[in-house]
Amino acid sequence: SQTIHQWPATLVQPVGSPLSLECTVEGTSNPNLYWYRQAAGRGLQLLFYSIGIDQISSEVPQNLSASRPQDRQFILSSKKLLLSDSGFYLCAWRNGGILGDIQYFGAGTRLSVL
């Protein structure tokens, strides 16, 4: 069966420090991968999605970037964190090429920028 791993679970970082959040999927190949952010008390906002290695689309201009160095690995990064980057970050995947198939989410990373 497929599983999605996301780490770390929580992270406290000072303003101006770099960021690297990692997400990996097991049990499937060529998944579509997604990074979402959830601000406190709000719904999810799509940040990036990827349909293949080195194929990244950005939904919202951010202080963040994403990379997909391997088929089942998706990384969210920042060179210098801002206070506004605080939030809950969720990685998700779905079977690529199957319209309407479900997005499955990881357990999330709670990021606090101080």
* Residues at the site binding another protein, with contacts judged by CB under 8 A: 32, 34, 36, 41-46, 49, 51, 57, 59, 88, 90, 92, 99-100, 102-108, 110
Give the residue among 88, 91, 76 at the shortest CA–CA distance from 112.
88
Rounded Cα distance, 41 and 50, in Å = 27
Rounded Cα distance, 13 and 90, in Å = 18
Q: Which CB atom, from 12 or from 15, has the smaller least distance to another protein? A: 12
Q: Which CB atom, from 19 or from 92, has the smaller least distance to another protein? A: 92
Q: Which CB atom, from 57 or from 70, has the smaller least distance to another protein? A: 57
